[in-house]
Amino acid sequence: MSDDVLEIAGVSKRFGDILANDDISLSLARGEIVALLGENGAGKTTLMNVLFGHYVPDSGTVAVMGRPLPPGRPREAISAGIGMVHQHFSLAANLSVLENVMTGSERLFLPMSNTSAARKKLMALSERFGLKVDPEARLGDLSVGEQQRVEILKALYNDAKILVLDEPTAVLTNLEAEKLFSILKDMARLGLSLIFISHKLDEVMATADRIVVLRGGRSVAERRASATSKAELAELMVGRAVSRPMRDHVERGDVVLEAIAISVRIDGVDRLKSIDFTLHAGEVLGIIGVSGNGQTTLAHMISGIVQPKDGDLLLYGKSVGDMSVADVVAAGIGRIPEDRTHEGAIGEMAIWENAILERLGDYSKHGLVDRKSAIVFADRIIKEFDVRGGVPTTRFRLLSGGNMQKLILGRNLIEHPKILLAAQPARGLDEGAVAAVHERILEARRNGTAVLLISEDLDEIMALSDRIQAIVGGRLSPPVNADHADARMLGLMMAGEWAQAMPGREVGHAP
């Protein structure tokens, strides 16, 4: 590494009463990987949006290769060699990989597009950086990890020398995340400079050369990755020591939800295959599995979004047949969806509107929404669940991902549901927010709520669950007592080796 390729000096940015960035300075050297670490809402994404020209700073400057970068001009940032990979991809699902990569790279009104040269350049970049793609594939048919490769390739196609990745593993499986960071390290060795925004301590420690910590919009610390620890970084992020809560003993109650040989078919494909489970009041039943094995369908079935083809679902001991979403809400089932931006809320609506989405009847008079009482309710959620970055009238989309999640969690838990369906509840959250979410779930369990926890995070499942089942190929394993489970056992269960994981039990193995 030699001279700095990027210099951010004294950047401040305010949104109304919120000071998102407060006099932040940051440098980046050639071939260096810098992690921008901080709580949800600490100002990380705002700073990178200033760098890329999406926001104009109130004060401060940005220089690339020693040359000042005009503020508020994304095209100038791209021309200067800055590429940005957003947390929520800015790609067109109906276009091919090649078409997505080329979009915006050619001048308008050309007589014809030079797709042959573009394809050749794309494949050369794919080969050089180990980002395998099919240029003719339709983007909407690709996995999330493959779509992210396209985002990265699009930045490289525009000759990026500085690559910024905003929460790059927020939507990836563990295996996809490992592959991504291996690629990023190779990129740095080839001379690219990288900034990645994260709050995940393991990936920061394993990948970054240097770590810059933001808290409350300010840069509070800078550390070499080789000279710090996860414990120190967690404390720097939140300003205090952080520890995750531990599950204590709670006497479980009656069965409140039971699935008997339920199968679900979608578009001619069996997504769930004769699954069985029971869920008791005052317990957490953890469903662990690798992404794509039926977790989403299971959550959608319980939420009333899809209906079973075969089998029976019993709620409080009674068969419910086909339940609609309205029936689910009326039955006292709280839902934390895995996709908070598409299934959990409406981005253009205010926080208060999202807070009452599932309980309009409670906040309406004579067919009109009682805005005043709804705002009071939203303000209560904001305060009790520490939702930062807005007031009840703030648009939901302006919240950070973690604060979106806390609002959805609060909307469901504040009225003490009988059953809580929590799908990936801590995905995308910083260490402090994870601890807070886990504590809320365990508190609900202590208060008698039955919790069905669907997660791909082994540590989360083991910390919160009383019993655990693995989902593989749309089938559920028999349950195991979490007190008798370890990472090896659960790994075998997730691989479908149920007989090996649970010797002595006639359980066979998953398909």
The domain locations on the chain are 4-238, 245-332+419-511
CA distance 387 to 191: 40
SS3 content of the chain, % helix, strand, coil (to 5): 35, 25, 35
pLDDT for position 133:
86
CA distance 381 to 393: 13
Number of Cβ within 10 Å of residue 268's Cβ equals 5
User: What class has domain 4-238?
Assistant: alpha beta
Question: Which residues neighbour 307 within 8 Å (Cβ) at sequence distance 6 or greater?
Answer: 264, 301, 322
Number of Cβ within 10 Å of residue 330's Cβ equals 12
Residue type for position 153: L
Write the DSSP symbol of residue 413. H
Two tokens at 113? 């597009």
Does the structural domain 245-332+419-511 have CATH classification 3.40.50.300? Answer: yes
> Fold identical between 4-238 and 245-332+419-511?
yes
pLDDT for position 91:
82
CA distance 251 to 212: 45
pLDDT, one tens digit per residue, over 5-61 is: 999 999 999 988 889 999 999 999 999 999 999 887 789 989 999 999 999 999 999
Q: Are 79 and 146 in contact (CB under 8 A)?
A: no
CA distance 103 to 105: 6
Backbone angles phi, psi at 115, to 5 degrees: -70, -30
Question: What number is the average pLDDT over the span 200-207?
Answer: 87
CA distance 197 to 217: 14
Backbone angles phi, psi at 327, to 5 degrees: -65, -40
Q: Are 112 and 144 in contact (CB under 8 A)?
A: no
Mean pLDDT of the chain: 88
User: The whole model's pTM is what?
Assistant: 0.70
Between 241 and 68, name the one with better pLDDT. 68
CA distance 89 to 112: 27
Three-state SS letters, 50-71: HHHCCCCCCEEEEEECCEECCC
Please determine, for residue 243, whether its predicted confidence score (pLDDT) is greater than 90: no
Backbone angles phi, psi at 255, to 5 degrees: -70, 125
Q: At what angle do helices 371-384 and 401-413 cross, to 10 degrees?
A: 110
Torsion, CA 106, CA 109, CA 115, CA 116, rounded to 10: -100
CA distance 325 to 323: 7
pLDDT, one tens digit per residue, over 435-483 is: 888 999 999 999 999 999 999 888 899 999 999 999 999 999 999 999 9
Q: Which one, of 293, 287, 406, lies nearest residue 340 by Cα?
A: 406
